[in-house]
Chains A and B, each alone.
Chain A
């Protein structure tokens, strides 16, 4: 069965520091992978997606993610976080047209 694991429930990072959020997936075929962000009281916003091709994908708000098939990972990174990046981040895999989400990682940004 397909699954998505986000090992870190909560991450605290200083403003201006780099951020990396981990995502591991279990999927039989080439996965379609996504990262979404959810700010407090808001819906989910798509940050970036991977379908095929280049394993390093660029997204909105300065985020990027790297697909590593050998490690079954799709980690999200940002070189320098801003206070507005405080939110919950979800990794997801497409499963026959439906999204299967990880448990999410809450990011707190400190001054």
Chain B
């Protein structure tokens, strides 16, 4: 079946503008994650949605970052008033079952990422 998809693949924006990044998880996957990959910070967790539970936002670097997940499927990561340090590849991942006892619970499948460049 189809994997995790992300759009756009590349985004160039001017400092101070808002951007929205989209993630379509694998159909049926209940958990969705956003990570950021940058030269200085490596791979960092941003936010995690699991079913209908409140999201884990502990990795969001500032209040300029927010994310929502509509209908338990598609997610949008929004960065307001972008700064140059926001330039990075934003990766989305999804995982399947809701039962931690199942082996697949912790397997995250990643999309190709959105490369964001803030000029």
Tell me the smallest distance from the CB of A106 to a CB of chain B, in Å: 12
- Give the segment of A21-29, A64-72, A73-81, A97-105 that binds chain B: A97-105
Report how far A100 CA is from B59 CA in the complex, Å. 11
Majority DSSP secondary structure for residues of A touching B? strand
Point out the residues of chain A lying under 8 angstroms from B33, CB to CB.
98-99
Point out the residues of chain B lying under 8 angstroms from A99, CB to CB.
33, 35, 43, 45, 93, 108
Report whether B91 and A44 are in contact in the complex, using a CB–CB cutoff of 8 Å.
Answer: yes
Majority DSSP secondary structure for residues of B touching A? strand
Which residue on B lies nearest to A52, using beta carbons? B103
Tell me the smallest distance from the CB of A89 to a CB of chain B, in Å: 12
Report how far A32 CA is from B107 CA in the complex, Å. 10
Cβ-based interface call for B82 (8 A):
no
Known: A46-B107, A49-B107, A90-B43. A98 touches B59 (CB 8 A): yes
Given contacts A46-B107, A97-B31, 19 further A-B contacts (CB under 8 A): A32-B106, A41-B112, A43-B91, A43-B110, A43-B112, A44-B93, A44-B110, A46-B108, A46-B109, A94-B106, A98-B33, A98-B45, A98-B48, A99-B43, A99-B93, A100-B45, A101-B42, A101-B43, A102-B42
